Structure 1
Amino acid sequence: MANILVVDDELGIRDLLFEILNDEGHNVELAENAAEARAARLRARPDLVLLDIWMPDTDGVSLLKEWATTGLLSMPVIMMSGHATIDTAVDATRIGAFAFLEKPITLQKLLKAVEQGLARETARRAAAAVVPSPSAYGAVVTIVGDNSPVPMLPTIVAVADPGPQSVQSFDLDRPLRDARDGFEKAYFEFHLAMEHGSMTRVAEKTGLERTHLYRKLKQLGVDLSRGRKSAV
């Protein structure tokens, strides 16, 4: 699952969050102050951070601002506090915090915020991986229906991180409807692989009603078992 860093000066809260997130299958690292959080951030490179605002050495908002100004705010950060004001929460989100949880934190709100934060991080990594393939430059390709070689455009590589690369190419010398169907099939296959075959999550990600999604996938000839680990 994910690597999550929990930063809180209260031992009871650290232990509770560790138990909950560990039971969800995540790898959890704990820090009780900003100094330990800095070291853990550089050492573990967490996928998500749960950060308390009120801490004795450096408060969470200051640490968040420090990460933002030094280029280290590359993961979703969920702020936590039992005494913060609305202005504090707004300031944190302006700096770059993903969400704000008020203590005492309910299990439902915690898991929902963590799930949404990790989903955004997965999407960010996938988008960052859509880059030109270096080996494509200087190569030539023959367009279907034309025997003359033309310079190859950079190949678009979509990567679900971690995992194997998936290179998509499309025949543009086709009727618009056929070309569009080819793209849509690749689009849905990508999201099925990202969500391990979960139709519920794919429906949420693509903005389609689940019944309509089933019909669409059947129409495009998408293999529904692709990337599936368990039925949802």
Structure 2
Amino acid sequence: MANILVVDDEMGIRELLSEILGDEGHVVQLAENAQQARLARQEAKPDLVLLDIWMPDTDGVTLLKEWQRDGLLTMPVIMMSGHATIDTAVEATRIGALNFLEKPIALQKLLKAVQQGLTRTPETNRPAVPPLRVISSDHGNNVNNAHNLQSANSNFENRSFNVAQVAAPAPVNQFASLSFDLPLREARDAFERIYFEYHLNRESGSMTRVAEKTGLERTHLYRKLKQLGVESVKYAKRGE
């Protein structure tokens, strides 16, 4: 388990990354601007930082330069942006960023970059965090890895979860409680909520297996569960 700081001015991005990384067993801190990131860096000393480039107060590259100048760049930093140029990505890596991810960030690329960052031994000889095992490949948007920083040919095993004992799968007859008098949208949401809760119970909370069973890309699955108000954490114990 690692302490990861996510710095992004978009609430949706922060929440999504927090859910994904939290599900992988990490402790996640959130910052919406450079000032909050400075305070979080000072107080918690994160093992890895995901840093957005375009922010309203101070941009990510400037903050990266500041940390490098003040001797605070002791943790791997992965830059993120939906609008940055290759020149910006190259500049960030020259300053000291480990990697660059282009938005929208595909799940497999995110977890691969995080795994590479956490298994990299810093110059301070601080022990490296034990490597994560990346979950099965998603089929979302491909993300260009700027400047060929990391090899794309590494093979990763599926990550395993320690799961708690959960209740038996939700009975199919729950669907009998659905009312045909509901507006179509409400009836569809009710159906989907029961449907996903059933699969989460059946798969002991494994988001990887639920994604496979339901035919959804995992990032889309996270968003769908959030939209329906289904908390996946209730169905599994996070690995420690």
The TM-score bracket by the shorter chain reads 0.5 to 0.7
Give the aligned partner of residue 173 of structure 1: none
What amino acid does structure 1 have at the position aligned with 2:99? A
Alignment partner of 2:72: what SS? coil
- Residue 22 of structure 2 corresponds to residue 22 of structure 1: yes
TM-align CA RMSD: 1.9
Which of 119, 122, 125 is residue 124 of structure 1 equivalent to?
A: 122
User: Normalising to structure 2: TM-score of the pair?
Assistant: 0.53
TM-score under structure 1 normalisation?
0.54
Residue 89 of structure 1 corresponds to 89
**Is the contact made by 2:9 and 2:32 (CA closer than 8 Å) also made in structure 1?**
yes
Counterpart of 2:58, as a letter, is T
Secondary structure of the structure 1 residue equivalent to 2:78: strand
> Which letter does structure 1 place at the counterpart of 2:107?
L
Letter in 2 for 1:124: P
> In the alignment, which residue of structure 1 is the partner of 2:63?
63
Aligned-residue offset at 1:124: 2.8
Q: What is the distance in 1 between the residues matched to 2:131 and 2:65?
A: 32
List alignment gaps of at least 5 residues for structure 1. 130-159, 163-193, 197-232
The percentage of counterpart residues that share the same residue type is 73
Q: Is the 8 A contact 2:122 2:128 kept in 1?
A: no
Q: What CA distance in whole angstroms lies between the structure 2 residues aligned with 1:63 and 1:195?
A: 27
CA distance in 2, matches of 1:57, 1:195: 34
Alignment of 1:43-192 (within 5 A): 43-120=43-120, 123-124=121-122, 128=125, 160=127
| Residue of structure 2 equivalent to 1:183 | none
Distance verdict in 2 for CA 1:82–1:44, change over 3 Å: same
Provide structure 2 residue ranges, at least 5 long, that are not aligned to the other structure: 133-240
Give the AA of the match of 2:18: F
CA distance in 2, matches of 1:23, 1:44: 20
Q: Aligned partner of 1:106: which letter?
A: A
Deviation sequence 1:199-219 (CA, Å, 0-9, x none): xxxxxxxxxxxxxxxxxxxxx
CA distance in 1, matches of 2:82, 2:71: 28
Which residue in the other structure is 2:160 paired with?
none
C-alpha change, 1:47 and 1:55, in structure 2 (3 Å) is same
Q: List, as ranges, runs of 4+ consecutive aligned residues in structure 1 with deviation greater than 2 Å.
A: none
C-alpha distance in 2 between matches for 1:55 and 1:86: 18
Mapped partners of 2:78, 2:65: distance in 1 = 13
Residues 1:7 and 2:4 aligned together: no
Secondary structure in 2 matching 1:124: coil
The match for 2:40 is 40
Query: What is aligned with 2:197?
Result: none
Distance 1:161 1:85, change over 3 A: closer
1:205-224 alignment to 2 at 5 Å?
Answer: none
The offset of 1:110, in angstroms, is: 0.2
Which residue identity does 1:49 align to in structure 2? Answer: V
What is the rounded CA distance, in whole Å, between the counterparts of 1:15 and 1:195 in structure 2? 24
Which has more radius of gyration? 1
Sort the Cα spacing of 1:52 and 1:161 in 2 relative to 1 into closer, same or farther, 3 A. closer
Aligned length: 132
CA–CA distance in structure 2, aligned partners of residues 47 and 19 of structure 1: 18
Does the aligned pair in 1 maintain the 2:52–2:79 contact within 8 Å?
yes
